[in-house]
């Protein structure tokens, strides 16, 4: 028995060391050989590490500040390390921020199959200035994009494709952007026929402002390639239309629409469609299991030609009467509510909407509890809790778990 135990322990140690041997280390303050073979001998420059190491590598990046970079094919880059970790899941990307400073221009350009996980992206400007996906698919996860100026912060340009590759933006925060949308998705040149090659999941958009359309998200020719779920939109604005979300055109006619499921919209504003605007011929959007609150009129709008918006199993302030089909049609799919969602604290302790202490989770007695539609609901909520927590899924980004999460609790995707 002791021999077997010794062999087992030795095998575990060997596998752990073998796995770590494939990791490339990056630390801005490292003073060793700069080979990337350990924390002591880490690369000090992220772009140099990426350009030197083979495609498909895994990089661990120490907390600190780094310059713009271009990812490599199938490369996985993790931030949030202190330099003491020997296991990836020991990192804490929130407590130990790893910044990519765009130096007033673009911070990150994606390559096919790449992943960027656990970074703060700041000081960026221009179209796709924070993150650019240019006809490639990949994963942006556990990241914060802060203060982007001018143009759309994250540009998803014809991402996805016939190969079935998926692009995922998950558990990210987009805050204080100005000029364009926080995320722009353009799908015109795709001919992908599979399910939703782009998913925006468990994200928070707050205080973003577009001088045109879609303070948080705007789409052009998105068709059935985009699914937005478990996300929170709070205090986003647009000068023309779609305070939070603007969806324009659809290249392939009346197919499966852009899906917006189990999201919470609060206190967004625009002259045309305070929360959502669907515009131009054959644009299609489904809004289901969502809370749309903070205004009593023109929350959901269709305009220009023949767009279609369908809404169901959602809590709309002002009810279905708060929608505005200026052109095209808005269809009631049933299950609509018009009752105070009873957020835990919509403007937080500072009484300012759109700041970090706002809490849009549900409290006991909310009409949104166990009134959603299971068929379109994602498996988990914004906090990562399994749906449903009761006998039926809830409406909104957060599933009611019978009480608030413990103070300071953060559920992370590692």
Can you state the percent helix, strand and coil of the chain, rounding each to 5? Answer: 10, 35, 55
Domain boundaries, the chain: 125-376
Q: Which has the higher per-residue pLDDT, 241 or 326?
A: 241
User: CB-based contacts of 197: which residues, under 8 Å, 6+ apart?
Assistant: 137, 159, 160, 161, 164, 165, 166, 167, 190, 225
**28-37, 119-128, 259-268, 305-314: least confident range:** 305-314
Amino acid 34: pLDDT: 96
In angstroms, rounded to a whole number, what is the distance separating the alpha carbons of residues 341 and 398? 11
Q: Are 382 and 202 in contact (CB under 8 A)?
A: yes
Could you tell me if residue 313 is left (phi over 0), alpha (psi between -120 and 50 degrees) or otherwise beta?
left
Q: Tokens 């796709």 correspond to what residue? A: 128
Its pTM stands at 0.89
**β partners of residue 393:** none
Q: What is the pLDDT of residue 296?
A: 86
State pLDDT tens for residues 157-202. Answer: 875 544 556 899 999 999 999 999 999 988 754 444 444 478 999 9
Name which of 214-218, 254-258, 363-367 the model is least confident about.
Answer: 254-258
- Condensed to tens digits (0 to 9), the pLDDT of residues 300-312 reads 999 888 888 999 9
Q: What DSSP line would sit under 24-53, residue for residue?
A: EEE-TT--S--SSSSSTT-BS-HHHHHHHS
């Amino acid at each position: 028995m002791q021999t077997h135990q010794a062999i087992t322990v030795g095998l575990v140690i060997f596998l752990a060391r073998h796995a770590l041997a494939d990791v490339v280390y990056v630390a801005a303050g490292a003073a060793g050989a700069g080979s990337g073979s350990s924390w002591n001998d880490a690369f000090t420059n992220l772009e140099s590490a990426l350009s030197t190491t083979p495609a498909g590598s895994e990089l661990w990046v120490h907390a600190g500040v780094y310059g713009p970079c271009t990812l490599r094919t199938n490369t996985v880059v993790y931030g949030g390390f202190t330099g003491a970790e020997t296991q990836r899941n020991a990192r804490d990307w929130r407590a130990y921020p790893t910044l990519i400073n765009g130096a007033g221009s673009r911070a990150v350009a994606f390559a096919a199959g790449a992943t960027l996980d656990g970074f703060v992206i700041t000081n960026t400007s221009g179209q796709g200035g924070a993150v650019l996906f240019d006809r490639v698919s990949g994963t942006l996860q556990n990241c914060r994009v802060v203060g982007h100026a001018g143009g759309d912060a994250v540009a998803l340009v014809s991402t996805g494709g016939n190969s079935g590759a998926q692009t995922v933006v998950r558990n990210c925060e987009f805050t204080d952007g100005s000029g364009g949308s926080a995320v722009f998705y353009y799908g015109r040149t795709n001919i992908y026929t599979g399910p939703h090659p782009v998913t925006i999941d468990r994200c928070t958009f707050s205080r973003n402002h577009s001088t045109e359309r879609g303070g948080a998200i705007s789409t052009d020719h998105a068709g059935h390639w985009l699914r937005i779920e478990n996300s929170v939109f709070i205090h986003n604005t647009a000068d023309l239309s779609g305070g939070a979300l603007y969806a324009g055109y659809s290249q392939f006619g009346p197919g499966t629409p852009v899906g917006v499921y189990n999201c919470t919209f609060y206190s967004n504003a625009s002259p045309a469609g305070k929360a959502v605007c669907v515009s131009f011929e054959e644009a299609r959007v489904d809004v289901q299991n969502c809370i749309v609150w903070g205004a009593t009129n023109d929350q959901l709008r269709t305009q220009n030609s023949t767009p279609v918006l369908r809404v169901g199993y959602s809590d709309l302030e002002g009810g279905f009467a708060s929608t505005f089909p200026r052109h095209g049609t808005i269809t009631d799919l049933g299950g609509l509510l018009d009752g105070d969602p009873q957020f835990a604290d919509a403007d937080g302790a500072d009484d300012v909407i759109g700041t970090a202490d706002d809490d849009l989770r549900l409290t006991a007695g909310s009409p949104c509890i166990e009134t959603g539609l299971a068929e379109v609901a994602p498996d988990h909520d914004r906090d990562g809790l399994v749906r449903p927590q009761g006998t039926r899924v809830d409406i909104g980004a957060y599933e009611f778990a019978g009480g608030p999460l413990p103070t300071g609790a953060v559920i992370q995707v590692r």
